[in-house]
């Protein structure tokens, strides 16, 4: 497992980092996904830009109505900080293993955009906004527009995902994430997983976001489910009925861990479980 030759730079500031970015460069934070791909020679960047030494990117900050998770915040911290909404925190806690969670970063997992990763679903359900910076300025990209395709995000080559902004949970809001892992239980990448965020007032669901991972060509919102939930009382029957719309707009992909039929079934199961748990978490 040896990568092809590449250049390595470890800039001390974002400006230096922007200067190092080019058509064949790749940003590395924890390296937990990038390095295996390079070692298997499935991906061979010309230059690895290691942002690990840039100061000020390793904190979760409270901005009143939202928090921001910096580019160097590790999965373990996202999982345990207490400041992160449950759906994303749970997704972070189920990412990889202990070593991976201590090195890999939440922003890295989002930028990597793996179809079976946990945190993209959490970010989608929580209504996250990606903060992409480059030499020419800052773009804010809603999570719903960020995951473009398998391993493809809306980031440009000259941009770095410097933080992700997440609205803080308010009264009447709850979120959750659940999955079936490839090793059964919740171990390993998601065979199928779902994250849900709901807001309830006066006994009925006022707003909802539900996201799927592991099932389709990218982590994506299941807008039909959210639409079906809104206005209901969130009863088990209402949730199960809404879950029937889980696959609207989803191209289900078969893999070693599930047939199209099975994954379609799991999508509904995990949407149901995640929404019920989100309601319970209010």
Partner 1 sequence: MAMTTSALGGSVRRREDPALIQGSGLYTDDYTPHGTSYVAFARSPLAHAKINSIDTSAAQAADGVVAVYTHDDVAHLGDLLAQVVVAKGRPLLANGEVNHVGEAVAMVVAESVAQAKDAADMIDVDYDPLPAVIDLKEALASDNLVHADLESNVIVPWEAGPFGDEEAIAATKQTIADAKARDDTVTVSVEAVNQKLIPVPIEPRSVVAEWNGGYGRFRVHSSSQVPHALMGAIKTTFGLNANDVHVTAPEVGGGFGVKLNVYNDEILCCFAAQQLGRPVKWTETRREAPGSSIQGRGWVGTATVTGTKDGEILGYELDAIADMGAYEQNFTAAIPFLGLFVGSGQYKFPTHWKATCVFTNTMTTDAYRGAGRPEAAYYLERVIDAYAREIEVDPVQVRLKNFFEPFDEAVVSPIGFAIDTGDYGNNLEKLVEVSGYEDLKAERDAARAEGRHVGIGITTYCEVCGFAPTALSELGFSWATYGLPAGFYGTSLVRINPDASVTVITGTGPSGQGHQTTWAQLVSDRLGIPTERIRVIHGDTEESPMGIGTFGSRSLAVDGSATYDAAERVAAKAKNIAAHLLEASADDIELDADGASVAGSPDSSVDWGEIASAAYLPYRLGETEIEGGLESHVIFDAPNATWPFGAHLAMVEVDGETGDVKILKYMTVDDCGNVVNPMIVAGQVHGGVTQGIGQALFEESIYDESGNLLTGSLLDYPIPAAADLPMFETSHTVTPTNINSIGAKGIGEAGTIGSAQTIVNAVVDALESLGVKHIDMPLRPKRVWAAMQEARG
Positions that interact with partner 1 (CB under 8 A): 1-5, 36, 39-41, 97, 180, 182-185, 187-189, 191, 256-259, 262, 265-266, 269
Smallest gap from Cβ 27 to partner 1, in A, equals: 22
Tokens of 236: 């088990």
Smallest gap from Cβ 163 to partner 1, in A, equals: 29
Say how far apart CA 226 and CA 265 lie, in whole Å: 18
Burial letters for 15-50: b for 16+ Cβ neighbours within 10 Å, e otherwise? eebbebbeeebbbbbbbbbbbebbeeeebebebbbb
- Contact indicator for 177, 125 with CB cutoff of 8 Å: yes
Q: By C-beta, is 3 or 127 nearer to partner 1?
A: 3
Smallest gap from Cβ 184 to partner 1, in A, equals: 5
Say how far apart CA 117 and CA 216 lie, in whole Å: 12
Smallest gap from Cβ 7 to partner 1, in A, equals: 14
In sequence order, the 6+-apart residues with CB closer than 8 A to the CB of 38 are 3, 4, 6, 44, 45, 48
């Amino acid at each position: 497992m040896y990568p092809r030759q590449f250049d390595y730079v470890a800039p001390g500031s974002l400006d230096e980092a922007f200067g190092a970015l080019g058509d064949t460069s790749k940003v590395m934070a924890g390296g937990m996904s990038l390095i295996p791909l390079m070692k298997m020679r499935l991906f061979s960047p010309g230059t690895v830009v290691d942002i690990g030494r840039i100061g000020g990117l390793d904190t979760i900050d409270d901005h009143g109505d939202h928090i921001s998770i910096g580019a160097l915040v590790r999965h373990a911290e996202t999982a345990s900080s207490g400041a992160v909404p449950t759906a994303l925190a749970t997704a972070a806690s189920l990412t990889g293993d202990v070593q991976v969670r201590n090195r890999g970063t939440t922003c890295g997992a989002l930028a990597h955009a793996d179809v079976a990763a946990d945190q993209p679903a959490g970010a989608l359900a929580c209504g996250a906004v990606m903060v992409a910076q480059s030499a020419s300025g800052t773009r804010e990209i809603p999570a719903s527009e960020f995951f473009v395709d398998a391993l493809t995000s809306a980031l440009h080559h000259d941009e770095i995902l410097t933080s992700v902004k997440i609205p803080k949970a308010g009264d009447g809001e709850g979120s959750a994430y659940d999955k079936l892992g490839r090793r059964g239980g919740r171990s390993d990448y998601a065979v199928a997983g779902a994250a849900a965020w709901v807001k309830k007032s006066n006994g009925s669901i006022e707003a909802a976001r539900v996201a799927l991972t592991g099932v389709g060509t990218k982590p994506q919102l299941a807008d039909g489910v959210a639409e079906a939930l809104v206005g209901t009382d969130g009863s088990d029957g209402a949730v199960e009925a809404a879950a029937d719309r889980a696959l609207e707009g989803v191209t289900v992909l078969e893999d070693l861990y599930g047939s199209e039929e099975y994954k379609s079934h799991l999508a509904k199961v995990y949407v149901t479980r995640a929404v019920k748990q989100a309601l319970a978490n209010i």
